[in-house]
Structure 1
Amino acid sequence: MKVLFAAPARKWDLWSPALRDACPEMELCREGRPDSFDALIYAPGYPEDGSTLDFSAFTRARVVQSLWAGVERIVTNPTLTQPLCRMVDPGLTQGMVEYCTGWALRAHLGMDGYAQDGIWRNHLTPPLASQRRITVLGMGELGRAVAAALSGLGFRVTGWSQSGRPVQGIEVLAGPALPQALSRAEILICLLPDTAQTRNLLDAERLALLPPGATIINAGRGTLIDETALLKALDLGRPGHAVLDVFRSEPLAPDHPFWAHARVTVTPHVAADTRPASAAPVVAENLRRAMRGEPLLHLVDRIHGY
């Protein structure tokens, strides 16, 4: 099969060896006639001249496999009629679990309260996990994994999604119950995709529903939170802190108020990177499925956008 690597040039040396090892029958190319390719492997930033890729020219392509879990930069392209698959791989999921669990534990244990200044703060004893309530917004592949890990540590975990689809061992609330999900969130973990329904989901009104001193951990999409409303809410202590890994514009501008705010921790979009070693076998499996006409893994629902 002939496959176009439709990704920024800087990713070629990183990805091509792993992809070829996982799928040796593939002819992986960086360029060529669009109608000669059986599939595309896509990452945002392509084409690098800033133009919009015309998928209608790829008349033979049976699948477009994204290297990112988020597909908001491609799913609205009107020329994209081929099946689109998002990336879900074990390494990406494990990375997200580790990030969210680590920051949730840091917030739960109050690690930043122990200043190394010679003062014995023996009164700052954290509660047990069973006494701490965590809400996970977004119960897709990543949300379910994070919720399961936190529940396994003993936290009282509530999930929320628009559908409210049940998840074994986790209480999941549906769309209209968002206020309830927020009001019990001493730690709020945001793992929702970027869609028309989720943009600015956490506005001033909904942020005010959080318990005083709550911690927000946003590793989903920067568009989920109204930035101006969040800054004002942080000044009021509701929430008490925000750990932000994703932003509306990246890299985050050096003069952005988040950098200087005492109640914000900025991390540079590192929560869950796609690692070639674990992702390449997923790509290979989907390419083979497409060539055989079999059901694809992690097929994107165009209506919902993920």
Structure 2
Amino acid sequence: MTLTILFAPGDALWNNYRAPLIDALDAAGLNAVLTREADPETVDYIVYAPGSALTDFSPFTRCCAVLNLWAGVERIVGNPTLHQPLCRMVDPALTQGMVEYVTGHVLRYHLGLDDHITRQDGVWRPEAPPLASQRQVAMLGLGALGQTCARALAGLGFAVDGWARTARTVPGVTCHAGPEGLQNVLSRAEIVVTLLPRTPGTENLLDADRLSLLPRGARLINPGRGHLIDDDALLAVLDSGQVAHATLDVFRMEPLPAEHPFWAHPRVTVTPHIAAETRPHSAAQVIVDNIVRGQAGQPFVHRVDPATGY
């Protein structure tokens, strides 16, 4: 039997992913045709990415699964025509990139590197930072990315609080859950990292009330989703000094408009959604591994729960 795999994203992604996907399919011994066009009733699997022109999944009656190229699925999970299993991307290279971004910026804040770079005024200030064990870091979100980053920070010696909607256990991390747990975590966090998915329950999670819980001078790092933070509330606490600095990699509108106040704010670092990038060769292997599982009758990995949105 020849499998038909429809690649639904656009031209740029096709050019990047075509060869790695074909190589991974061949290495797995799958008899498959990877194509950008096919009769819907002949398609066995769909490779998808946000922004694809494909929005109606109902004609794909034979399709076993929709395999997303990105970790985020908020732009597809609510599609009423989607009745096939949906799997998000959990790519080892993407995870490694996120760990490097998060640990790099946590260390930047912890060591006060910005001050050393900008304050070259000829004054000798022998002021050493505290040890990592004396620095309280909060990881909001304990999914695959959040847990890996939290463990990496704990491994460097940081005192790490982790928070999720439901109870989790992560070695080396003090875990909290629910609204009261979030309040406790924020009230003592010197550095906050947000790695939550975008769902109705996380929209504007960090609003004016919750941002006010932070100790004065806290730092914020958001490589998760732009909608997790109320932009106006964040600007207010930055202006007041309640939050000393924010490093933001994701935004409600991307690219971030040139006129947005984040660009010019002296207490904001903007990075252009580069914290974690899906790499074609490693992501192709994740896609093909799930196809192999599907053909063997095994459960798909990284399958999205439509009720939770991730």
- TM-score tier, shorter chain, comes to over 0.9
Aligned to 1:139: 142
Aligned to 2:46: 40
Choose which of 188, 211, 222 in structure 2 pairs with 1:218: 222
Aligned to 2:233: 229
Aligned AA for 2:245?
H
Give the 5 Å matches for 1:243-254: 243-254=247-258
Which whole-Å CA distance do the structure 2 matches of 1:213 and 1:121 have between them?
Answer: 23
User: What is the percent sequence identity of the aligned residues?
Assistant: 56
CA RMSD of aligned residues (A): 1.0
Structure 1 unaligned blocks of 5 or more:
none
Aligned AA for 1:32?
A
TM-score by length of 2: 0.95
Which whole-Å CA distance do the structure 1 matches of 2:125 and 2:276 have between them?
Answer: 35
- The secondary structure found in structure 2 opposite 1:57 is coil
- Give CA deviations for 1:118-171 in whole Å, capped at 9, x if unaligned: 423424321110110000000000000000000000000010000022122211
Q: Is the 8 A contact 2:151 2:171 kept in 1?
A: no
Choose which of 236, 257, 269 in structure 1 pairs with 2:273: 269
Which whole-Å CA distance do the structure 2 matches of 1:194 and 1:33 have between them?
Answer: 33
Runs of 4+ in structure 1 deviating by more than 3 angstroms, as ranges, are none
Q: Is the 8 A contact 2:198 2:228 kept in 1?
A: yes
Which whole-Å CA distance do the structure 1 matches of 2:120 and 2:286 have between them?
Answer: 50
Which whole-Å CA distance do the structure 2 matches of 1:275 and 1:113 have between them?
Answer: 34
- The secondary structure found in structure 1 opposite 2:243 is coil
Aligned AA for 1:95?
G
Choose which of 27, 34, 39 in structure 2 pairs with 1:28: 34
Aligned to 2:69: 67
TM-score by length of 1: 0.97
Shift of 1:292: 2.1
Give the 5 Å matches for 1:76-225: 76-114=78-116, 115=118, 117-176=120-179, 177-225=181-229
Shift of 1:45: 1.0
Aligned to 1:260: 264
Shift of 1:116: 5.5
- Give CA deviations for 1:70-90 in whole Å, capped at 9, x if unaligned: 100000000000000000011
- The secondary structure found in structure 2 opposite 1:55 is coil
Shift of 1:238: 1.5
- Give CA deviations for 1:6-40 in whole Å, capped at 9, x if unaligned: 11111111011111111123211011111110000
Choose which of 294, 297, 303 in structure 2 pairs with 1:299: 303
Which whole-Å CA distance do the structure 2 matches of 1:191 and 1:116 have between them?
Answer: 31
- The secondary structure found in structure 2 opposite 1:41 is strand
- The secondary structure found in structure 2 opposite 1:194 is coil
Which whole-Å CA distance do the structure 1 matches of 2:173 and 2:135 have between them?
Answer: 15
Aligned AA for 1:14?
N
- The secondary structure found in structure 2 opposite 1:240 is strand
